[in-house]
Amino acid sequence: MIELSHLSKSFGDTLVLDDISLQVPEGRVTALVGPSGGGKSTLLRCINLLEIPSSGTICLGDATVEFSPGGRPGWDAIQKIRRQTGMVFQNFQLFPHRTALENVMEGLLTVLKWPREKAKSHAMALLSKVNMEHKADTWPATLSGGQQQRVAIARALAMSPRVLLCDEPTSALDPELATEVVEVLGRLAAEGTTMIIATHDLRLASRVAEDVVFLEAGKIVEQGPARRIFRDAEQERTRRFVSSINTAQQAP
Protein backbone atom coordinates (compact mmCIF):
# COMPACT_ATOMS: atom_id res chain seq x y z
CA MET A 1 0.00 0.00 0.00
CA ILE A 2 1.18 3.51 -0.84
CA GLU A 3 -0.40 6.16 1.35
CA LEU A 4 -0.03 9.92 1.00
CA SER A 5 -1.40 12.00 3.87
CA HIS A 6 -1.95 15.76 3.62
CA LEU A 7 0.92 16.13 1.17
CA SER A 8 1.70 19.67 0.03
CA LYS A 9 4.47 21.10 -2.13
CA SER A 10 5.38 24.72 -2.77
CA PHE A 11 7.96 26.27 -5.06
CA GLY A 12 8.62 29.61 -3.44
CA ASP A 13 5.23 31.27 -2.99
CA THR A 14 3.55 28.98 -5.52
CA LEU A 15 1.52 26.12 -4.02
CA VAL A 16 1.70 23.25 -6.52
CA LEU A 17 0.24 20.42 -4.41
CA ASP A 18 -2.42 21.31 -1.86
CA ASP A 19 -3.21 18.82 0.94
CA ILE A 20 -3.17 15.63 -1.15
CA SER A 21 -4.36 12.48 0.64
CA LEU A 22 -4.40 9.32 -1.44
CA GLN A 23 -4.17 5.55 -1.04
CA VAL A 24 -2.80 3.44 -3.89
CA PRO A 25 -3.44 -0.31 -3.52
CA GLU A 26 -0.65 -2.67 -4.51
CA GLY A 27 -1.19 -4.74 -7.62
CA ARG A 28 -3.31 -2.06 -9.29
CA VAL A 29 -2.72 0.77 -11.76
CA THR A 30 -3.67 4.32 -10.85
CA ALA A 31 -3.77 7.06 -13.49
CA LEU A 32 -3.27 10.71 -12.58
CA VAL A 33 -5.12 12.86 -15.09
CA GLY A 34 -5.95 16.53 -15.37
CA PRO A 35 -4.95 19.72 -17.17
CA SER A 36 -1.35 20.82 -17.61
CA GLY A 37 -0.03 22.45 -14.47
CA GLY A 38 -2.44 20.51 -12.29
CA GLY A 39 0.32 18.84 -10.28
CA LYS A 40 0.49 15.35 -11.80
CA SER A 41 4.23 15.24 -12.51
CA THR A 42 5.08 17.01 -9.27
CA LEU A 43 3.09 14.44 -7.32
CA LEU A 44 5.01 11.60 -8.98
CA ARG A 45 8.32 13.29 -8.26
CA CYS A 46 7.30 13.78 -4.63
CA ILE A 47 6.45 10.10 -4.23
CA ASN A 48 10.02 9.04 -5.04
CA LEU A 49 11.46 12.22 -3.46
CA LEU A 50 12.99 13.74 -6.57
CA GLU A 51 11.07 16.68 -5.12
CA ILE A 52 10.87 16.97 -1.35
CA PRO A 53 7.30 17.72 -0.16
CA SER A 54 6.81 20.83 1.95
CA SER A 55 4.57 19.01 4.42
CA GLY A 56 2.66 15.79 4.92
CA THR A 57 3.53 12.09 5.13
CA ILE A 58 4.45 9.35 2.67
CA CYS A 59 4.07 5.68 3.62
CA LEU A 60 5.50 3.20 1.12
CA GLY A 61 5.85 -0.40 2.18
CA ASP A 62 7.71 -0.40 5.48
CA ALA A 63 9.01 3.16 5.04
CA THR A 64 7.29 6.21 6.48
CA VAL A 65 8.65 9.74 6.01
CA GLU A 66 7.17 12.91 7.46
CA PHE A 67 7.83 16.35 6.04
CA SER A 68 7.63 19.80 7.56
CA PRO A 69 8.27 23.32 6.21
CA GLY A 70 11.98 24.12 6.19
CA GLY A 71 12.95 20.55 7.04
CA ARG A 72 14.46 17.78 4.95
CA PRO A 73 14.51 14.06 5.72
CA GLY A 74 17.84 12.31 6.12
CA TRP A 75 19.52 10.49 3.24
CA ASP A 76 18.73 7.05 4.69
CA ALA A 77 15.01 7.89 4.86
CA ILE A 78 15.07 9.14 1.27
CA GLN A 79 16.81 5.98 0.08
CA LYS A 80 14.27 3.74 1.80
CA ILE A 81 11.59 5.32 -0.38
CA ARG A 82 13.60 5.47 -3.60
CA ARG A 83 14.68 1.84 -3.40
CA GLN A 84 11.02 0.86 -3.64
CA THR A 85 10.23 2.96 -6.71
CA GLY A 86 11.11 2.83 -10.39
CA MET A 87 10.74 5.96 -12.53
CA VAL A 88 9.92 6.17 -16.24
CA PHE A 89 10.40 9.68 -17.61
CA GLN A 90 8.68 11.44 -20.48
CA ASN A 91 11.98 11.94 -22.36
CA PHE A 92 13.41 8.46 -21.65
CA GLN A 93 16.63 9.58 -19.85
CA LEU A 94 18.70 6.67 -21.16
CA PHE A 95 22.48 6.83 -20.77
CA PRO A 96 23.66 7.70 -24.32
CA HIS A 97 27.06 6.04 -23.83
CA ARG A 98 25.51 2.70 -22.82
CA THR A 99 23.81 0.14 -25.06
CA ALA A 100 20.21 -0.86 -24.36
CA LEU A 101 21.46 -3.88 -22.40
CA GLU A 102 23.99 -1.84 -20.46
CA ASN A 103 21.34 0.72 -19.55
CA VAL A 104 19.24 -2.00 -17.93
CA MET A 105 22.28 -3.56 -16.23
CA GLU A 106 23.62 -0.30 -14.79
CA GLY A 107 21.69 -0.21 -11.52
CA LEU A 108 22.18 -3.91 -10.91
CA LEU A 109 25.95 -3.51 -11.20
CA THR A 110 26.51 -0.17 -9.48
CA VAL A 111 23.80 -0.20 -6.79
CA LEU A 112 23.06 -3.85 -6.06
CA LYS A 113 26.62 -5.00 -6.88
CA TRP A 114 25.42 -8.06 -8.78
CA PRO A 115 27.98 -10.19 -10.64
CA ARG A 116 28.11 -9.12 -14.27
CA GLU A 117 26.76 -12.37 -15.75
CA LYS A 118 23.83 -12.43 -13.33
CA ALA A 119 23.03 -8.79 -14.13
CA LYS A 120 23.28 -9.50 -17.87
CA SER A 121 20.93 -12.47 -17.66
CA HIS A 122 18.34 -10.53 -15.68
CA ALA A 123 18.61 -7.51 -17.98
CA MET A 124 18.10 -9.68 -21.06
CA ALA A 125 14.99 -11.19 -19.49
CA LEU A 126 13.60 -7.70 -18.89
CA LEU A 127 14.39 -6.60 -22.45
CA SER A 128 12.53 -9.69 -23.63
CA LYS A 129 9.56 -8.68 -21.47
CA VAL A 130 9.33 -5.36 -23.34
CA ASN A 131 10.09 -6.96 -26.75
CA MET A 132 13.51 -5.33 -27.04
CA GLU A 133 15.91 -8.26 -26.68
CA HIS A 134 16.81 -7.99 -30.39
CA LYS A 135 18.11 -4.45 -29.73
CA ALA A 136 20.23 -5.35 -26.70
CA ASP A 137 23.52 -4.16 -28.25
CA THR A 138 22.06 -1.03 -29.85
CA TRP A 139 22.91 2.54 -28.84
CA PRO A 140 19.98 4.68 -27.66
CA ALA A 141 20.55 7.28 -30.42
CA THR A 142 19.71 4.69 -33.08
CA LEU A 143 16.45 3.58 -31.42
CA SER A 144 13.01 5.03 -32.11
CA GLY A 145 11.26 6.92 -29.33
CA GLY A 146 9.00 3.99 -28.61
CA GLN A 147 11.97 1.63 -28.43
CA GLN A 148 13.85 3.97 -26.09
CA GLN A 149 10.83 4.18 -23.81
CA ARG A 150 10.54 0.40 -23.69
CA VAL A 151 14.21 0.14 -22.70
CA ALA A 152 13.56 2.80 -20.05
CA ILE A 153 10.69 0.69 -18.67
CA ALA A 154 12.96 -2.36 -18.53
CA ARG A 155 15.60 -0.32 -16.71
CA ALA A 156 13.04 0.91 -14.17
CA LEU A 157 11.90 -2.68 -13.56
CA ALA A 158 15.46 -3.96 -13.07
CA MET A 159 15.57 -3.00 -9.40
CA SER A 160 12.30 -4.88 -8.68
CA PRO A 161 10.48 -1.77 -7.40
CA ARG A 162 7.34 -1.96 -5.31
CA VAL A 163 5.76 0.67 -7.58
CA LEU A 164 6.50 1.86 -11.12
CA LEU A 165 6.03 5.62 -11.57
CA CYS A 166 5.44 6.73 -15.18
CA ASP A 167 5.51 10.42 -16.06
CA GLU A 168 3.67 11.01 -19.36
CA PRO A 169 5.23 7.86 -20.87
CA THR A 170 3.62 8.33 -24.32
CA SER A 171 3.40 12.11 -24.73
CA ALA A 172 6.70 12.45 -26.64
CA LEU A 173 5.69 9.73 -29.12
CA ASP A 174 3.61 9.67 -32.27
CA PRO A 175 0.45 7.49 -32.11
CA GLU A 176 2.06 4.40 -33.66
CA LEU A 177 5.04 4.43 -31.31
CA ALA A 178 2.80 5.26 -28.36
CA THR A 179 0.83 2.08 -29.09
CA GLU A 180 4.00 0.02 -28.55
CA VAL A 181 4.44 1.51 -25.09
CA VAL A 182 0.76 1.15 -24.20
CA GLU A 183 0.94 -2.55 -25.07
CA VAL A 184 3.94 -3.05 -22.79
CA LEU A 185 2.31 -1.20 -19.89
CA GLY A 186 -0.87 -3.18 -20.47
CA ARG A 187 1.04 -6.46 -20.12
CA LEU A 188 2.69 -5.24 -16.93
CA ALA A 189 -0.72 -4.26 -15.55
CA ALA A 190 -2.09 -7.72 -16.38
CA GLU A 191 0.82 -9.23 -14.42
CA GLY A 192 -0.17 -7.22 -11.34
CA THR A 193 2.57 -4.57 -11.47
CA THR A 194 1.72 -1.63 -9.22
CA MET A 195 1.87 1.54 -11.31
CA ILE A 196 1.05 5.21 -10.96
CA ILE A 197 0.88 6.88 -14.35
CA ALA A 198 0.62 10.63 -14.95
CA THR A 199 -0.84 11.07 -18.41
CA HIS A 200 -2.85 13.23 -20.80
CA ASP A 201 -3.47 10.14 -22.93
CA LEU A 202 -6.92 8.92 -21.93
CA ARG A 203 -6.56 5.97 -24.29
CA LEU A 204 -3.61 4.82 -22.18
CA ALA A 205 -5.43 5.52 -18.93
CA SER A 206 -8.65 3.82 -19.99
CA ARG A 207 -6.85 0.71 -21.24
CA VAL A 208 -4.36 0.25 -18.42
CA ALA A 209 -5.67 1.98 -15.28
CA GLU A 210 -8.12 0.54 -12.78
CA ASP A 211 -8.28 3.70 -10.67
CA VAL A 212 -8.20 7.36 -11.72
CA VAL A 213 -7.34 10.53 -9.81
CA PHE A 214 -8.30 13.84 -11.45
CA LEU A 215 -6.07 16.71 -10.33
CA GLU A 216 -6.48 20.42 -10.96
CA ALA A 217 -4.61 23.34 -9.38
CA GLY A 218 -2.84 20.94 -7.05
CA LYS A 219 -6.03 19.48 -5.57
CA ILE A 220 -7.85 16.18 -6.04
CA VAL A 221 -11.13 17.05 -7.74
CA GLU A 222 -12.37 13.47 -8.05
CA GLN A 223 -11.08 9.91 -7.75
CA GLY A 224 -12.57 6.49 -8.30
CA PRO A 225 -12.71 3.47 -10.61
CA ALA A 226 -11.56 4.26 -14.14
CA ARG A 227 -14.77 2.99 -15.73
CA ARG A 228 -16.90 5.39 -13.69
CA ILE A 229 -14.61 8.38 -14.07
CA PHE A 230 -14.43 8.06 -17.84
CA ARG A 231 -18.09 7.23 -18.40
CA ASP A 232 -20.04 8.89 -15.63
CA ALA A 233 -17.91 11.20 -13.49
CA GLU A 234 -19.65 12.78 -10.52
CA GLN A 235 -18.03 16.22 -10.84
CA GLU A 236 -18.95 18.50 -13.72
CA ARG A 237 -15.32 19.65 -14.00
CA THR A 238 -14.17 16.07 -14.49
CA ARG A 239 -16.82 15.44 -17.13
CA ARG A 240 -15.78 18.54 -19.08
CA PHE A 241 -12.13 17.55 -18.98
CA VAL A 242 -12.76 13.98 -20.15
CA SER A 243 -15.04 15.24 -22.92
CA SER A 244 -12.49 17.81 -24.13
CA ILE A 245 -9.63 15.31 -24.21
CA ASN A 246 -11.76 12.69 -26.00
CA THR A 247 -12.74 15.26 -28.62
CA ALA A 248 -9.12 16.33 -29.14
CA GLN A 249 -7.86 12.75 -29.47
CA GLN A 250 -10.59 11.83 -31.96
CA ALA A 251 -9.84 14.81 -34.20
CA PRO A 252 -7.98 14.04 -37.47
Q: Supply the pLDDT for residue 251.
A: 47
Domain boundary among 120, 145, 160: 160
Whether 171 has a pLDDT exceeding 60, the answer reads yes
Whether residues 156 and 170 share a domain: the answer is no
DSSP of the chain: -EEEEEEEEEETTEEEEEEEEEEE-TTSEEEEE-STTSSHHHHHHHHTTSS--SEEEEEETTEEEEE-TT----HHHHHHHHTTEEEE-TT----TTS-HHHHHHHHHHHTS---HHHHHHHHHHHHHHTT-GGGTT--GGGS-HHHHHHHHHHHHHTT--SEEEEESTTTTS-HHHHHHHHHHHHHHHHTT--EEEE-S-HHHHHHH-SEEEEEETTEEEEEEEHHHHHHH-SSHHHHHHHHHHHHHHH--
Domain boundary among 160, 179, 200: 160
Whether residues 74 and 195 share a domain: the answer is yes
Whether residues 179 and 222 share a domain: the answer is yes
Q: Supply the pLDDT for residue 184.
A: 93
What's the pTM?
A: 0.92
Range of the domain at 55: 2-84+163-250
Whether residues 15 and 77 share a domain: the answer is yes
Domain boundary among 117, 138, 160: 160
Residue 7, domain CATH: 3.40.50.300
Whether residues 61 and 183 share a domain: the answer is yes
Q: Supply the pLDDT for residue 201.
A: 83
Tens digits of residue pLDDT in 218-237: 999 999 999 999 888 999 99
Mean pLDDT of 6-28: 94
Tens digits of residue pLDDT in 135-170: 999 999 999 999 999 999 999 999 999 999 999 998
Whether residues 51 and 98 share a domain: the answer is no
Whether residues 78 and 169 share a domain: the answer is yes
Tens digits of residue pLDDT in 175-234: 888 888 999 999 999 999 999 999 988 888 888 999 999 999 999 999 999 999 988 899
